[in-house]
Amino acid sequence: MDNTILKQNIQEKLIGINKVSSDKFKKSNWPVPMEEEWRRTNLAKYDMSGFQLSQQTQNVSSSKSDIMDNDGNSSLIINKTSNTKAVIKLNESGSENVIIFEPSNPIMLNDSDTVLVNNLAEDAAAHFDNKLSSLALSSFKDSVFIIIPDNLELVKPLVVEFESDSGAESYLPNLFIHVGINTQVGFIQKIKSSDGSSVSGVLNVTCGDNSNVHTATVTDIGSDSLIFINRFFNLSKNAFLSDFQSATGGKLIKTRTEVDLSGEKADARLYGVLFSTDHTQIDMRTVQHHKAKNCFSQATIKSVVKDKGRTIYQGLIEVEEEASLTDAYLTNHNLVLNNGARADSIPSLKIRNNDVKCSHGSTTSKINEEQILYLTSRGIADEEARQMILEGFLSSVYDLLPVHVKSYSELLIMDKIKQKEEIS
Amino acid sequence: MQTLTIKNLTAEVDGKQILNGINLEINTGEIHALMGPNGSGKSTLSNVLAGHPDYTVTGGTISLNGEDLLEMSVSKRSLAGLFLAFQQPMEVPGLTIGKYLKRIVELRLAEGERMNVSAFIKDLKSNLDTVGLSHDFINRYLNEGFSGGEKKRMELIQMMMLEPSFAILDEIDSGLDIDALKTVATGVNKLKGGDFGALIITHYQRIMENIKPDFVHILYQGRIVKSGGRDLVDMLEAKGYGWVREEFNIPEEADEYQRTIAS
Ligand SMILES: Nc1ncnc2c1ncn2[C@@H]1O[C@H](COP(=O)(O)OP(=O)(O)OP(=O)(O)O)[C@@H](O)[C@H]1O
Ligand SMILES: [Mg+2]
C-alpha cells in the first residue's frame, strides 16, 4: 500500500488532481475536426462559453433534496444534486457495505479505501485526455465515489441520480466505481440537467476478477444543453460487463466509452440507443480494447433519427498483439424516419494479432411503408403503427438488457419519443 | 345481414390500369372464391379494398353496408369490419405477437369496455392450437423469420381473433402443406355463419374441398368474366384458363399485352 497517500489527507490528494486538471484545461484547446474522433462534431459551431472552471470554493451547503425514485426496485439510491449532500436510501440488505464517498462532504475512509478512491481519481486523470475531461476533473464537487467490497452480491441495481439545479455553471457529474473481486452488482447512472446547461462528466469503473457488473448511463438533459461524457471501464480476469447507454434530448450529446479487456476471459457487452430529433446531434464513440487473451466483446448500437436529427456512431475494435483468441463484434443499426434526418456509422478495426475473430456491420433503413400498411390494415392508426415499428426496432436491444435497466431506460426513451410524436 | 358491394371498379397502379370494371356483391353468410391467372388483378383488388396507397381507384364505388369504403382510411376500414390476409405478410421486428394481438383486439372494444386479458390469452392459445402453432409464438416477433406457412397461419390467427364481418384471403392456401390447408379450412369454417362473409383468392381446387364456397368468380384481365357455383372450379381444373379466353373471345394479343405489363 502506498504510504504517502495515507499520510496525506485524501482531500488534499483530490484537490491536487483538480489543480492539475484545471491547468490542463486552461492550457489546452477545444478538440478540432482535424482529430478523427471530432471530425463530425465541430465544437466551433457550438457556444462553449458555459464550459468554465468553477469560481466556487468547495463549500458545501447541507440542504437535502427528496429522493424521487421510491419504488424499492433498487438496492441503493444516491441522489446527488449539485452543491448538496447526496441523499442515500438503502433498499436491500448488503448495500450498507457499499462505501460511498463524496469529496464535497467527505467521510473518514479506512486505509485501503483511501487508496482505492485515490487510484480511481488518478487513473481517470491519467486516462482521459481532452479539454472536456480535464474540465470534468477540475472539481469533484458533483462527484461520487463508490467502492463495492469483495464478494458482495446485490440483486437490485444501485441508482445514482445526478441532477443539476442551475444552468449557470458547468455541471460535472463524475462517477467513480471500484468493483471488488467475486461480486455481482448493477448501476444505473442518471444524469438530469435543466435547459441550456453545459455538462461534462467522467465515469471510471474498474471491475475486479470474477466480477459481474451491469452498468447503464441514461441522460435526460434539457433543451439547448450540451453534454460530454467520457466513460472508461477496465476489466480484470473473468470479469463480465454489460453496459448500456441511452442518449436523447439536448443540442449536442457526445459520449466516448472505452473498455479495456485487461484480464484473460473478460467479457464486455456494450449496448446503446440513440434517439435524435429536432436539431440534436448525438455523437457516440465506443472502443473495445483487447489487451489480454481469450476475451469477448460486442457492441450493439441502435439509433433513430427524426426531423433534422443526426447521429454519428464511431465504433473501434482494437486488438493488441498479446490478445490472441479474441472474439469481438460490432453492429450498428439505424432507422431514419424522414428525409433530412441522418445517421452515420463509422466502424473500424485495428488488429495486431492474427488469431482473432472480429467483425463489424451496419445497416441504415427507413420505415417500410408496407409495414405501415400491414399494421394499419389491422385497425392501428398510422401514427401508432410508426411508433410500434420504432419501438420494435429498439426493443431488440432492450430485450438484451437486464430487466431493471430495460424498464427504466425504455420508459425514459419511449416517453421522449412519445412526447416528440405528440408535439410534431 | 351486412353487404360489401363493388360496382364498376377500375383501378391503376403506376399509371397502368389493372382493374377494368369489377362488379361483385358479398353478403355475410356467403363464401366467395376468386380465381384467375397470374397477373389478372386478384391482389390488386384486395389491395384496393384494404386501401393500399399505391393503388389508385379511377372509377366505380365500393360500399360497406351503404357506407363509402373508399372514403375511409386503411385503419378505419379494418375497424369497420374488413379483414385482408396478405399474400405476403410483412415482418415487424421487435413487436411481439402477444403485444400486437392484444392491441388490435383492444382497438375493437366498445368505449368504456375493459379488456379481459385472461380471456384474451385463452382465446389466443386455443386459436394457436387450431392452426397448429406452438404457444411459444406469443413471444415471437411478428412474422419475423417465420416460414411461409407460419406466416399464413399467423394471418389466420389474426382473422380469428378479430372476427371481421368480411375477410379477403389472398392466396392463404399457397405454400401450405396438406395439414395446414385443413387448418385454414377449420379457421374459416369456425367463423362461417350469419355474421361472416369471405372472398377467398386461390389458384387451387383443393382448398374448395374443405371450404365449400357458395360462389366462384373468374377474374381475367381485370374483369370478372364468369361467376357460378363450385362446378366452375372443376371446369378450370379440366380446361385451364385458355378455355376462358376462347369462350369470351379475348384476343391473344390482349393477353400478350397483359403479360408485357406483368413483366
Ligand atoms: N405496385 C405495382 N407496381 C407495378 N405493377 C404492379 C404493382 N402491383 C401490381 N402490378 C401489376 O398489376 C398486375 C396485376 O397484379 P396482381 O398482383 O393483382 O395479380 P394477381 O392476380 O394477384 O396475380 P398472382 O396470381 O400472381 O398473385 C400485374 O401485371 C402486376 O405486375
Ligand atoms: Mg396475387
More confident residue, B190 or A375: A375
Q: Residue range A235-241: average pLDDT?
A: 98
d(CA A244, CA A34): 29
Residues 105-134 of chain B whose Cβ lies under 8 A from any Cβ of chain A: 107-108
The answer as to whether A384 is a domain residue is: no
The answer as to whether A245 is a domain residue is: yes
Using the mean position of ligand 2's atoms as its centre, give its distance from the Cα of residue A229 in Å: 53
d(CA A258, CA A357): 20
CA dihedral A287, A288, A290, A291 (to 10 degrees): 40
CB contact under 8 A, A394 and B94: yes
Name A339's bridge partners: A341
Contact B36, B222 (CB under 8 A): no
Contact B173, B206 (CB under 8 A): yes
d(CA A317, CA A350): 6
Full-model pTM: 0.80
pLDDT confidence bin for B244, thresholds 50/70/90: confident
Ligand 1 atom nearest to CA at B171 = 27
> To which residue does cell 471491475 refer?
A207
Pocket test for ligand 1, best of B44, B52, B54, B173 (most atoms within 8 A of CB): B44
- In the structure grid, which three cell numbers stand for residue A48, read together? 462553449
Q: Residue range A385-412: average pLDDT?
A: 80
List the domain range (segments joined by +) for residue A255: 3-369
In this prediction, residue B68 carries a pLDDT of: 97
Residue of A nearest to B90 (CA): A371
Using the mean position of ligand 1's atoms as its centre, give its distance from the Cα of residue B262 in Å: 7
pLDDT > 50? residue A63 = no
In this prediction, residue A409 carries a pLDDT of: 64
The answer as to whether B120 is a domain residue is: no
The answer as to whether B107 is a domain residue is: no
The three-point CA angle B180-B182-B185 to 5° equals: 115
The answer as to whether A410 is a domain residue is: no
In this prediction, residue A423 carries a pLDDT of: 44
Q: What percent of chain B has pLDDT over 70?
A: 95
List the domain range (segments joined by +) for residue B208: 3-90+164-262
Q: For A117-135, write each residue's pLDDT tens digit.
A: 999 999 999 999 899 999 9
The answer as to whether A381 is a domain residue is: no
Closest CA to B34 of B185, B233, B175: B233
pLDDT confidence bin for A8, thresholds 50/70/90: low
d(CA B21, CA B60): 7
DSSP annotation of A206 reads E
CA distance A397 to chain B (A): 9
Domain count, chain B: 1
Ligand 1 atom nearest to CA at B45 = 18
User: Which ligand is located closest to the Cα atom of residue B35?
Assistant: 1
- Look up the CATH number of the domain holding residue B201: 3.40.50.300
In this prediction, residue A361 carries a pLDDT of: 92
The answer as to whether A402 is a domain residue is: no
d(CA A355, CA A360): 17
d(CA B75, CA B82): 10
Q: Residue range A101-114: average pLDDT?
A: 90
Q: Residue range B140-154: average pLDDT?
A: 93
Using the mean position of ligand 1's atoms as its centre, give its distance from the Cα of residue B41 in Å: 6
- In the structure grid, which three cell numbers stand for residue A332, read together? 450498428
The answer as to whether B158 is a domain residue is: no
Question: Between chain A and chain B, how many beta carbons pairs sit less than 8 Å apart?
Answer: 71
Domain count, chain A: 1
d(CA A159, CA B71): 52
The answer as to whether B75 is a domain residue is: yes
Q: Which one-letter amino acid corresponds to residue B42?
A: K
The answer as to whether B112 is a domain residue is: no
The span from the first CA to the last CA of chain A, in angstroms, equals: 59
CB contact under 8 A, B92 and A376: no
Least confidently predicted of A162-171, B19-28, B215-224: A162-171
Whole-number average pLDDT of chain A: 89
Q: For A33-47, write each residue's pLDDT tens digit.
A: 999 999 999 999 999
Using the mean position of ligand 1's atoms as its centre, give its distance from the Cα of residue B19 in Å: 10
In this prediction, residue A373 carries a pLDDT of: 96
Residue A174 C-alpha from the chain's centroid: 10
For residue B103, list chain A residues with Cβ-Cβ distance below 8 A: 380, 388
pLDDT > 50? residue A274 = yes
Which H or E run includes A113? Answer: helix A111-127
Whole-number average pLDDT of chain B: 90
CA distance A360 to chain B (A): 21
d(CA A47, CA B160): 59
Q: For A154-191, write each residue's pLDDT tens digit.
A: 988 899 999 886 656 789 999 999 999 999 999 999 89
Nearest-CA residue for ligand 1 atom 31 is: B262
Using CB atoms, pick whichever of B51, B107, B141 lies closest to residue A379. B107
In this prediction, residue B259 carries a pLDDT of: 47
- In the structure grid, which three cell numbers stand for residue A271, read together? 449496448
CB contact under 8 A, A393 and B93: yes
More confident residue, B101 or A107: B101
The answer as to whether B206 is a domain residue is: yes
CB contact under 8 A, B75 and A381: yes
pLDDT > 60? residue A59 = no
DSSP annotation of B206 reads H
Least confidently predicted of A21-30, A331-340, A408-417, B22-31: A408-417
More confident residue, B253 or A353: A353
Residue of A nearest to B97 (CA): A392
The answer as to whether B242 is a domain residue is: yes
In this prediction, residue B138 carries a pLDDT of: 95
pLDDT confidence bin for B75, thresholds 50/70/90: very high
Using the mean position of ligand 1's atoms as its centre, give its distance from the Cα of residue B43 in Å: 6
The answer as to whether B227 is a domain residue is: yes
pLDDT confidence bin for A355, thresholds 50/70/90: very high
pLDDT confidence bin for A77, thresholds 50/70/90: confident
CB contact under 8 A, B50 and A395: no
Q: For A189-237, write each residue's pLDDT tens digit.
A: 989 888 889 999 999 999 999 999 999 998 888 889 999 999 999 999 9
CA distance A396 to chain B (A): 6
pLDDT > 50? residue B90 = yes
pLDDT > 70? residue A1 = no
